[in-house]
């Protein structure tokens, strides 16, 4: 079965540089979530999009922005990178039938993550 795809898998940047992480959800999934997991930490929610609109917002720094495109893939843009941004960034996707009915997936399926190292 197709899974969530994230690219790149590894990324090394210097302080004050910018980075763009990409996420391709499972086919037919309409909701995308971004999480940040620091070393030895639990994943922290950053932001989510449902049908290309922002649906929930967590502890996302103002230096970060994200969007979901018409094909449902999403990009997380990170600017003015800091050493503390070094982490594993996960994307997850899910499906919500909304008014159309049908079975929701309820759960979020996670991608393999992008490991960002800021030096």
**Which of 14/39 has CB closer to other proteins?**
39
**What is the Cα–Cα distance from 78 to 106, expressed in whole angstroms?**
29
**What is the Cα–Cα distance from 49 to 103, expressed in whole angstroms?**
19
Question: What is the smallest separation between the CB atom of 12 and other proteins, expressed in angstroms?
Answer: 16
Question: What is the smallest separation between the CB atom of 76 and other proteins, expressed in angstroms?
Answer: 15
**Which of 15/57 has CB closer to other proteins?**
57
**Which of 15/27 has CB closer to other proteins?**
27
Q: Which residues bind other proteins (CB under 8 A)?
A: 31, 33, 35, 42-45, 48-50, 55-56, 58, 90, 92, 96, 98, 106-113
- Cis before residue 28, ω within 30 degrees of 0? no
Token representation of residue 68? 């979901």
Asked if residues 66 and 22 have their Cβ atoms less than 8 Å apart, the reply is: no
**What is the Cα–Cα distance from 105 to 62, expressed in whole angstroms?**
31
Question: What is the smallest separation between the CB atom of 37 and other proteins, expressed in angstroms?
Answer: 9
């Amino acid at each position: 079965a197709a899974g969530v795809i994230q690219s790149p898998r590894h990324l090394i940047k210097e302080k004050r540089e910018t980075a763009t992480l990409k996420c391709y959800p499972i086919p037919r999934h309409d909701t995308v979530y971004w999480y940040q997991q620091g070393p030895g930490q639990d994943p922290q929610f950053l932001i989510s999009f449902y049908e290309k609109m922002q649906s929930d917002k967590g502890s996302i720094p103002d230096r970060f922005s994200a969007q979901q495109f018409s094909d449902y893939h999403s990009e997380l843009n990170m600017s003015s990178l800091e050493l503390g941004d070094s982490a594993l960034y996960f994307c997850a996707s899910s499906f919500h039938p909304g008014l159309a009915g049908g079975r929701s997936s309820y759960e979020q399926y996670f991608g393999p993550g992008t490991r960002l190292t800021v030096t």
